[in-house]
Amino acid sequence: MHPAVLVLAFVQLPLLLWMEALLTLMGGPEFLPAVPVLRMLLLSVPGMTFATVMAPQWVGRGFFARVGALSLGVSAVGVAAAWIGIRAYGAAGFVLPYAVGVVVNGAMAVWVQRTSRADRVPVATPVLPASAADATP
C-alpha cells in the first residue's frame, strides 16, 4: 500500500471523531448541519488518494484512453445521479453517487492491474560486472 494512503487513513480517524468540534472552532455553530455530509465524504479520501497515486501507473501501462473514457463515463453518470439526489435529499444526496464513483475507480484499478501486460512479461535482469577490473574490454 502506498504511504500516502496510510498517512491519510491515519489523519482521517481523528477528523471523523472530532469533526463537530473542529467545524465549530473553524466556522462557528452555523456550520454544524454540514457535519454528517462531511463525515460521509471523508470516508472516500483513501480511495481517491489511491486513484491519484495510481493514475501515472495507468498512463505508463498504456491504459490512458480506456481509463480516461471510463472516468468520463463515470463522471457523467455521477453528475446526473447527483443532480437527482441533491434535489431529493439535499447535500446528502450527493454522497451516494460520489461513493459509487470511488468504488468504480477502485474496480478500474483492479482491472488495470490484472490486464496489464507488465505483469505477464518477464523482465530481463541485467548482468553487471563484479568489479571495475571486469568492466574493461
In terms of average pLDDT, the best of 20-29, 55-64, 94-103, 112-121 is: 20-29
Judge whether residue 117 has pLDDT over 60.
Answer: no
In terms of average pLDDT, the best of 17-26, 43-52, 54-63, 70-79 is: 17-26
DSSP string, 9-52: HHHHHHHHHHHHHHHHHHH-GGGGGGHHHHHHHHTTHHHHHHHH
Judge whether residue 62 has pLDDT over 60.
Answer: yes
Cell of 44: 472516500
Please count the CA atoms within 13 angstroms of the CA of 85 that sit on its side-chain side. 16
List, for residues 7-21, the tens digit of each pLDDT value.
777 777 788 888 888
* Band of pLDDT at residue 45, cut at 50, 70 and 90: confident
Query: Among residues 2, 4, 49, 42, which one has the least CA distance to residue 20?
Result: 42
* Band of pLDDT at residue 114, cut at 50, 70 and 90: confident
